[in-house]
Structure 1
Amino acid sequence: MNKTTSEPAVSARHGMPTAGAKYASYPTVNLPDRTWPSKVIEKAPVWCSVDLRDGNQALVNPMGHERKARMFRLLLDMGFKEIEIGFPSASQTDFDFARWCIENGDVPDGVDLQVLVQCRPELISRTFEALEGARTPIVHFYNSTSELQRRVVFEKDVRGIKRIATDAAKMITDMAAKAGGGYRFEYSPESFTGTELEVALEICNAVAEIVKPTPENKLILNLPSTVEMSTPNVYADRIEWMCLNLDNRENLIISLHPHNDRGTGIASTELGLMAGADRVEGTLFGNGERTGNVNIVTLALNMYTQGVDPMLDCTDINRMKDVYEYSNQLVIPERHPYVGELVYTAFSGSHQDAINKGMKAAAKANSPIWEVPYLPIDPQDVGRSYEAIIRINSQSGKGGIAYVLQADYGLNLPRNLQIEFSREVQAITDAEGKELPSSRIHDEFRKLYVDQPGARFKYVDHRTYPDEKVKGRRVLEATILDGGREVRVNGVGTGPIDSFVDALARHAGVEMSVLDYSEHSLQRGSDASAISYLEMEHGSGKLFGVGINTNISSASLEAVVSAANRIVGTTAG
């Protein structure tokens, strides 16, 4: 290929050779009227899974029959209409699996099995043996066409490489006709990204002329990014250029088969679809040679989040993950898009607060459109839950802690209590340096505000009656434990809480007054518990108390005791 020149790097760093002296930049495409940048993906492509071929050949321990069969069943259940089941001429294992799929795979109508074969006569013959009895199978034949491989691997010119492709096309179409028809055909100029566009065009047109595709039986022309060598926009340019220049385009299905050497396989595929491609070959979660094949699940769910039906069932992403990891004996990273263990969690306090508020706003709006900050997809759409959206560590904030307590335990903490308790949690996570599960956060909440082990005061009972001396005021008589000893206290106020605060303040010898109070039910039903939150001001500041009781009045008085215990502790300390 003709290479554009670039200025060499000013200097090498850390022992690396000067970039411009060792690597040539990839050529751009002269396509001034390109249209793909203004297009959007409006429908799903034809998907073809190559997990059982490209994915399998890239494994340290290739799949045996059981692992292949489990993957095959998942692909059918997801709705793939084309599945490459192997390279039957390459090994007896692949041959036997192809026969199993045809004879025992329960392949539904409308699903085409695809097999891969090099453009070699003996391999083609063996491939047709493997396909006997299959309905509309796809014979995918290929040969490498790149300038580098022509020069250093095959030592052939363009005419010689084209002859390999056309001879194979002639043999395959003849054998298909003798077998009674019903076959479909796919040709790949392998290493398309390393092939001059004019050469790729010449060879593809020559193959199509032999296959003679029709509207009823189109030829799949697969234009693979066998090695990702350029930025995604250049790949898109190449796809659009081919679509514009191929003969008989209306009877061709242009297929993409991107790899991920530069880490932009997803982008290359999406731009390639905008550039006119009709079909995508890839693997479920991107397993493949080197850095992998393109990730079909990510592509499909990217489309889904843009309002496009991906035509694949991804509603049970946990099952997809389990089968992938079982069959490939690989582990999906925690941050893998859509499926990773942590992709629906938030550790940052600001993220947690935004998610918490977004969830509440979404529930209130009752709109069909999903709009929650930091969550581009509703986890429930792929079979995940909200339970682990927020996890608490030293980077967490009040919003995340509040969400965990609300979602898992039904506690709707007032804002000031969120701020106060978040400082307590922060101190623990800073000291321990690790994440706190929601159960630990709840335990710490109860320990600080409700159970208060070793606390001085404990509420037992109370009664109230009108104050005979002052109209509109009430007297409260309460029984409490003070250091384990039962005592009676009396107070006067406008209501039970005010009266009890007066009684307890005089008994403990501290100043305190109520700043704010709120309450709610913890669960439905006649035996529902009530929880009371009470913000108290005292001599050196303000703090919260919390009470939980089946009786709302008792819950509020327990909240007063909770605050008093914390004030006494603060005063003593």
Structure 2
Amino acid sequence: MRKVEFLDTSLRDGEQTPGVNFSIKEKVAIAKQLEKWGISSIEAGFPAASPDSFEAVKQIAAAMTTTAVSGLARSVKSDIDACYEAIKDAKFPQCHVFIATSPIHREYKLKKSKEEILEIVKEHVSYASERFDVVEFSPEDATRTELDYLLEVVQTAVDAGATYINIPDTVGFTTPEEFGHIFKYLIANVKSDREIIFSPHCHDDLGMAVANTLAAIKNGAGRVEGTINGIGERAGNAALEEVAVALNIREDYYQVESPIVLNETVNTAEMVSRFSGIAIPKNKAVVGGNAFSHESGIHQDGVLKNPLTYEIITPELVGVKKSSLPLGKLSGRHAFVEKLKELELNFEESEIVSLFAKFKRLADKKHDITDADIIALVSGTDIANPEGFHFENLHLSSNSDDTITAEVFMINKDDEEIAILANGKGSVEAIYNAVDKFFNQTVKLLSYTIDAVTDGIDAQARVSVSIENVDTGTIFNASGIDFDVLKAGAIAYVNANALAQKENAGEIGHRISEKDY
């Protein structure tokens, strides 16, 4: 049984998802959860992109105790220098250098010959190797690169000091058979007197990212790269939770050992979902709401007789707890705190008073409180926007002309409560018009979705919104959780607007785009 490492790039490639903008606080929280999940290395970001990105990588590097931290760098010395400064204090620092190699990228984007690219690889991997003990190199768009030239590029990187060789399927073009062949070919032909670990980085444009990743492992890859919930550019990346569970369930076939703590899988997926503002689809493999549901009578009968008839993954394997929470409005603070510890939720002692007060308010409204309710209650605190603006409350009234008046109470950066009045044809429109008045900026609501945290008429609601900053065209996602669906929607809209205002103030750096490569 050989060991396979896991590298997570949710905080770098995942944040390139349209609308996803993690705050530094959220990035550090996700990184800590990834470490708890068992991730071997975290690609924390692109330090050269902006001061905000640099600071996020630096804080993540300082927070990790067992997990390596990597920063992305183009084949540019200033990028590598930024990586070094951001990650130099990490316990296990790594640098990830890349350049495109496929014919279409060479001709139209880089406008460089094969020989020029080889020189760039040699120069910059050598430069990185002087500053880092561990250097990863990626030939971008590797799966559309001529195989003999790909070998030449990889050999050049290895000779220059690369420790890891990442083979990206940048546009999700390849198939499992082709991708497996690439790994088998490279591993057999790259020459080195030290261990070189190969890894896949697959995008999901044709829906084969996980299959391609598993094919790479089967053919010798020693590290997996992907994101939580498959977030990322366009159709996203290989979903690491799916890869981890597949390796566990089909250990007989893949014959590899994973470092992932599988019963932390759902906690990890839900945290990334909350902070990204992207809901997990009900039918998503491993962590979707329907992953362990059985509607068909034949399936139900089989599961009751033996769960293995239709469940190859047990809910407990990935951290799904079936029991309801035996707490109610008469429960005391001690019992509440013990339940938080049992659920392994992250909280500070200073937060207990406010969390318990929220629990009491929830218990007054909801008779049966489940583990999911408590998780949502605590996570609702986490997703409060980090920019200093907070939704406090709202009042609605009907008018004789069938319009609605919303009075929205907000807390500004100076911790002052401000009340804003606005009208609308419906409750949501009135509330959002009031929030627009507060922020005084032009945004367009692109989507508004509601998801119940738990089952039943008294379920807490999670509302996810996407807005577009009309001035810049940037999309922002955000979520809100509350027992009242209108309040949940208000929280989500406030959080998204706070991100747009941060961009307008010039505090959000640019993303790596194709033109930057």
Shared fold (TM-score greater than 0.5)?
A: yes
The residue that corresponds to 1:322 in the other structure is 270
CA offsets 1:244-279 (integer angstroms, 9 cap, x no match): 111117521111111111101111111111111111
CA 1:140–1:331: 2 relative to 1, 3 Å: same
Match of 1:312 among 260, 267, 276: 260
Question: Residues of 2 paired with 1:292 and 1:186: CA distance?
Answer: 21
Native 8 Å contact 1:243 1:249 kept in 2: no
Match of 1:382 among 314, 318, 321: 318
CA RMSD of aligned residues (A): 2.2
Match of 2:49 among 90, 93, 101: 90
Look at both structures and tell me which one has the larger radius of gyration over its CA atoms.
Answer: 1
Q: Which moved more, 1:311-320 or 1:274-283?
A: 311-320
Within-5 A mapping of 1:390-469: none
CA 1:96–1:386: 2 relative to 1, 3 Å: closer
| Alignment of 1:126 onto 2:82 | yes
The residue that corresponds to 1:188 in the other structure is 138
How far did 1:192 drift?
Answer: 0.4
Question: Residues of 2 paired with 1:274 and 1:102: CA distance?
Answer: 31
CA offsets 1:127-154 (integer angstroms, 9 cap, x no match): 2222232233111000001111101111
Question: Residues of 2 paired with 1:259 and 1:252: CA distance?
Answer: 23
Question: Residues of 2 paired with 1:249 and 1:173: CA distance?
Answer: 16
Match of 1:142 among 87, 98, 101: 98
> What amino acid is aligned across from residue 317 of structure 2 in structure 1?
D
Match of 2:156 among 197, 206, 216: 206
How far did 1:299 drift?
Answer: 0.8
Question: Residues of 1 paired with 2:258 and 2:176: CA distance?
Answer: 21
How far did 1:336 drift?
Answer: 0.6
Identity %, equivalent residues: 26
> What amino acid is aligned across from residue 188 of structure 2 in structure 1?
L
Within-5 A mapping of 1:107-126: 107-108=64-65, 110-126=66-82
Native 8 Å contact 1:44 1:303 kept in 2: no
CA 1:155–1:66: 2 relative to 1, 3 Å: same
Q: Which has the higher contact order (CA 8 A, sep 6+)?
A: 2
CA 1:385–1:97: 2 relative to 1, 3 Å: closer
How far did 1:171 drift?
Answer: 2.0
TM-score normalised over the length of structure 2 = 0.60
Question: Residues of 1 paired with 2:160 and 2:289: CA distance?
Answer: 50
Question: Residues of 2 paired with 1:165 and 1:159: CA distance?
Answer: 10
Question: Residues of 1 paired with 2:219 and 2:301: CA distance?
Answer: 40
How far did 1:438 drift?
Answer: 11
How far did 1:66 drift?
Answer: 2.1
Native 8 Å contact 2:101 2:141 kept in 1: yes
CA 1:136–1:333: 2 relative to 1, 3 Å: same
CA 1:383–1:210: 2 relative to 1, 3 Å: closer
CA offsets 1:487-545 (integer angstroms, 9 cap, x no match): xxxxxxxxxxxxxxxxxxxxxxxxxxxxxxxxxxxxxxxxxxxxxxxxxxxxxxxxxxx
Question: Residues of 2 paired with 1:44 and 1:172: CA distance?
Answer: 26
Question: Residues of 1 paired with 2:456 and 2:178: CA distance?
Answer: 52
CA 1:230–1:318: 2 relative to 1, 3 Å: closer
| Alignment of 1:75 onto 2:22 | no
Question: Residues of 2 paired with 1:275 and 1:334: CA distance?
Answer: 32
> What amino acid is aligned across from residue 235 of structure 1 in structure 2?
F
> What amino acid is aligned across from residue 251 of structure 1 in structure 2?
E
How far did 1:44 drift?
Answer: 4.7
How far did 1:316 drift?
Answer: 3.6
The residue that corresponds to 1:285 in the other structure is 229
Question: Residues of 2 paired with 1:203 and 1:252: CA distance?
Answer: 14
Query: Which consecutive segments of 4 or more residues in structure 1 shift more than 6 A?
Result: 437-440
Question: Residues of 2 paired with 1:385 and 1:169: CA distance?
Answer: 46
Secondary structure class of the residue paired with 1:285: helix
Secondary structure class of the residue paired with 2:21: coil
The residue that corresponds to 2:113 in the other structure is 157
The residue that corresponds to 1:295 in the other structure is 239
Native 8 Å contact 1:119 1:164 kept in 2: yes
Question: Residues of 2 paired with 1:68 and 1:208: CA distance?
Answer: 31
CA offsets 1:96-130 (integer angstroms, 9 cap, x no match): 01221233x1x21x421111000012222222222
TM-score normalised over the length of structure 1 = 0.54
> What amino acid is aligned across from residue 169 of structure 1 in structure 2?
V
CA 1:132–1:358: 2 relative to 1, 3 Å: closer
Native 8 Å contact 2:228 2:269 kept in 1: no
How far did 1:226 drift?
Answer: 1.1
Match of 1:101 among 49, 60, 78: 60
CA 1:296–1:146: 2 relative to 1, 3 Å: same
Native 8 Å contact 1:45 1:278 kept in 2: yes
> What amino acid is aligned across from residue 346 of structure 1 in structure 2?
H
CA 1:309–1:247: 2 relative to 1, 3 Å: closer
The residue that corresponds to 1:349 in the other structure is 297
